[in-house]
Amino acid sequence: MPKPQGIQGEPEGRNRTRLAGQAFASTMAFKPNIDRLKPMLYPSTRGHCPPVRLDEALRAGLAPDGGLYVPERIPGLEAATGIPGPDLSATAERVLAPFFADSSLAEDLPRITREALDLPLPIVEFNPGKSWMLELFHGPTAAFKDFAARFLAACLSRLRAEHEPVQTVLVATSGDTGGAVAAAFHRRPGFRVVILYPDGKVSARQAHQLGAFGDNVHCFRVQGNFDDCQRLVKRALNTPELASALALTSANSISIGRLLPQISYYAHSVSQLSAQIAQKVNLIIPTGNLGNALGAVLARAMGIPIGEIRLATNANRTLPDYFGGEDYRGRPGIATLANAMDVGDPSNFERLAWLYREADLRDSGIHAGSVTDEQIRRAIRRAWNEQGLMVCPHTACALELLRQQREVGDDRPWMVAATAHAAKFENVVEPLIEQTIEAPPALAALLERPSHAEDLEPDEDALATRLRALA
């Protein structure tokens, strides 16, 4: 069998195609160097509280008005910036520097990127000259979220003074976020992690991984879906007394600290590949809460040679329906084989709408498609039989959209974001490819450890009680 070769906002329910404010589209031009040195502030998407510096936005996670922090402008990248750098951490330092302007972390940014982003980032070609896969799953928990979680942990640990109380990192997860955050903050002095995941709606290995860290990591099985978990986190962060008593922050993709590093791996990989093929690179990105895809959107806005961006969803059709012409309508999540994307009301849509608040989001070169469970199964089989690729159900959604593009004659270069290692979903993938999937060493080590999680009702008071008991 051939083996692939590697190469180095607003209230829900509104129509948010057009929103008032400065046009995001106008920020896409390159900026002069002086713009990169100007202080960067972070307003809320809802505009009901003053803009803050990055330090405060990182600490808080969520804005006081319930909105998400966003950069006030999108800095451009000139050719002299030197993108890509010799490795991901060097690229990240250059790309992210303007976002850190006026932050107390600005001087530490080179050390932060070296500490957090020293991870493999292979690009695998599987259709010569036409199709590539960006493997984002070579971190300690075998998922793309390792990049951002490690970066956020490196930032928050530097922002916390020794005399300050222990900070509680509260995170909702549909599978991979919780493990990445747990690994990034495990045994890190001055922090405790509280993970909420929907009981029975993550894979068995994901659930085991979430409860296997122990020490300063506490895990709760919520009797509900991911949207319930996400709601509990947001309500806790927006309860001033509770947030203050526990020094609460979030490590979900609602945190600006999760979003920024995701810009860097698209900047690095796309610039590298584009230089080789002398064309813009189109992206297909599996998405649930829209955080990973938003990193690509921002990278493109800064001037990285990204063409079209396609969002691959499972049977949760909120985004495909919106980009297909319907009003935005959040809805309950539907359980699918691609469980990490079982999101019915993606939080980061509010950021996306804010960025395009005076432009037409449906005319932005962003599209979305929905993939059924049966299509996921066929895509997993096809990837193995035709390309020798073992892919997770989420990556399979992206491969199915790519197949559909090729079927209608699209011959452009496309890169698919592979978001998790297939071994995390062995109960789905192994029967389809009739092969045993070996777990990566770090995941295998976690699976050998005992795992513990407590039951939790999807109730704000119940969560508050548990959180206070940990303090």
Tell me the three-class secondary structure of 95-152, residue by residue: HHHHHHCCCCCHHHHHHHHHHHCCCCCCEEEEECCCEEEEECCCCCCCECHHHHHHHH
Per-residue confidence band for 424, with pLDDT thresholds at 50, 70 and 90: very high
**Integer Cα distance of 463 and 461 in angstroms:** 5
pLDDT given for residue 325 in this prediction:
96
- Backbone angles phi and psi of 407, in degrees to 5: -65, -25
Per-residue confidence band for 79, with pLDDT thresholds at 50, 70 and 90: low
- 415 pLDDT more than 60: yes
355 and 442 both lie in a single domain: yes
3-state secondary structure of 454: strand
312 and 244 both lie in a single domain: no
CA-to-CA dists, residue 418 to 126, 185, 186, 308, 380, angstroms: 13, 24, 25, 17, 12
- Has residue 53 been placed in a domain? no
- Has residue 64 been placed in a domain? no
232 and 155 both lie in a single domain: yes
Among 145-149, 161-165, 391-395, 459-463, which stretch is predicted with the lowest mean pLDDT?
161-165
Mean pLDDT of the chain: 90
What is the separation of C-alpha 215 from the centre of its chain, rounded to a whole number of angstroms? 25
| CA-wise closest residue to 369 among 328, 323, 407, 337 | 323
User: Is the CB of residue 300 less than 8 Å from the CB of residue 306?
Assistant: yes
pLDDT given for residue 28 in this prediction:
34
pLDDT given for residue 162 in this prediction:
87
- 14 pLDDT more than 60: no
137 and 280 both lie in a single domain: yes
- Has residue 109 been placed in a domain? yes
> Span 408-424, mean pLDDT?
97
In the chain, helix, strand, coil percent, each to 5?
Answer: 45, 15, 40
249 and 280 both lie in a single domain: no
- 292 pLDDT more than 80: yes
CATH number at residue 246: 3.40.50.1100
> Span 445-466, mean pLDDT?
94
282 and 354 both lie in a single domain: yes
- Backbone angles phi and psi of 82, in degrees to 5: 80, 60
Domain span at 360? 99-143+256-447
- 33 pLDDT more than 60: no
User: Is the CB of residue 437 less than 8 Å from the CB of residue 426?
Assistant: yes
- Has residue 308 been placed in a domain? yes
Percentage of the chain lying above the pLDDT 70 cut: 92
- Write the pLDDT tens digit of every residue in 310-351: 999 999 999 999 999 999 999 988 999 999 899 999 999 999
- 202 pLDDT more than 60: yes
Structural domains in the chain (count): 2
161 and 180 both lie in a single domain: yes
250 and 371 both lie in a single domain: no
Percentage of the chain lying above the pLDDT 90 cut: 80
Tokens 């006081």, residue?
64
395 and 417 both lie in a single domain: yes
User: Is the CB of residue 287 less than 8 Å from the CB of residue 341?
Assistant: yes
- Has residue 317 been placed in a domain? yes
- Has residue 167 been placed in a domain? yes
- 37 pLDDT more than 80: no
DSSP at 438: P
Per-residue confidence band for 439, with pLDDT thresholds at 50, 70 and 90: very high
- Has residue 43 been placed in a domain? no
User: Is the CB of residue 25 less than 8 Å from the CB of residue 356?
Assistant: yes
**What's the token pair of residue 124?**
């695998």
**What's the token pair of residue 433?**
């490819």
**Integer Cα distance of 438 and 278 in angstroms:** 37
- Write the pLDDT tens digit of every residue in 168-195: 999 998 878 899 999 999 999 999 999 9
333 and 462 both lie in a single domain: no
pLDDT given for residue 36 in this prediction:
54
User: Is the CB of residue 342 less than 8 Å from the CB of residue 174?
Assistant: yes
- Has residue 416 been placed in a domain? yes
